[in-house]
A and B are shown apart, each in its own frame.
Chain A
Amino acid sequence: DTGVSQDPRHKITKRGQNVTFRCDPISEHNRLYWYRQTLGQGPEFLTYFQNEAQLEKSRLLSDRFSAERPKGSFSTLEIQRTEQGDSAMYLCASSLAIGGSGNEQFFGPGTRLTVL
């Protein structure tokens, strides 16, 4: 168990550029989450996958955001035409949906995005 990993850890981009982040969950975990965290706030839910199916998307996730989880393994989050308001920490978490676990989530280290 190597934990949840995210790549890159930091990304600086210019407004209007596209960026893509990768998350590798804990291998046996069937649930995968993306969150956005801004300074002084808790994680805000963006989207959720159960295996390869994207089952829920927050209204925070505009049309410029897209997420995939091919084959139910790693996931990517793409932001098109980035805006300065997209600057945040993007966190990935995974969990194993079993009864009694309370959906305990394991978090990756995050990708910090700065849009200039």
Chain B
Amino acid sequence: AQSVTQLGSHVSVSEGALVLLRCNYSSSVPPYLFWYVQYPNQGLQLLLKYTSAATLVKGINGFEAEFKKSETSFHLTKPSAHMSDAAEYFCAHYTGGFKTIFGAGTRLFVKA
């Protein structure tokens, strides 16, 4: 069955440090992959998406993600964390039809 695994339910970084949030998907079907961010008591906002164009995708707020087919991964990175990046991040996978599968989420904490 199709699944999305986010390694680490919580990640803590210092302000200015590298952010790395991991996502692995399970499907042999060429995917569409998404990263969403959710702030407390709000809906999900799209950060970036992979749709089989460039393997390195740039999104909003300085985030980017690299699609690696050989590793079935789509990890999210940001070179320098900001306090405002503290939120929950969800990786999602769409393979066609109507259904998008979401990971369980990773909560990012940013320490001053």
Instruction: Write the residues of chain A forming the contact surface with B, with a CB cutoff of 8 angstroms.
Output: 4, 6, 9, 31, 40-45, 48, 50, 55-56, 91, 93, 100-110, 112
Contact = CB atoms under 8 A, between A and B. Distances in A.
- How would you classify the secondary structure of chain B's contact residues: helix, strand, loop or mixed? strand
Contact of B44 (A9, A44, A50, A107): A107
Given A50-B98, A104-B49, A112-B41, 4 more contacts: A43-B44, A91-B43, A107-B45, A108-B43
Nearest to A41: B104
A55 B98 contact: yes
Contact of A42 (B49, B94, B103): B103
B25 to A, nearest CB: 13
Contacts of A107: 36, 43-45
A87 B51 CA distance: 35
Contacts of A110: 41-43
Nearest to A103: B94
Contacts of B102: 42-44
A10 B41 CA distance: 10
Contacts, number: 62
Given A40-B104, A43-B90, A102-B51, A31 B42 contact: no
A78 B92 CA distance: 27
Nearest to A35: B102
Contacts of A106: 46
Contact of A103 (B32, B36, B43): B32
Nearest to B36: A107
Interface in B33-51: 34, 36, 41-46, 49-51
B72 interface: no
B19 to A, nearest CB: 19
Contacts of B90: 42-43
Interface in B63-97: 90, 92, 94
A47 to B, nearest CB: 10
Contacts of A44: 102
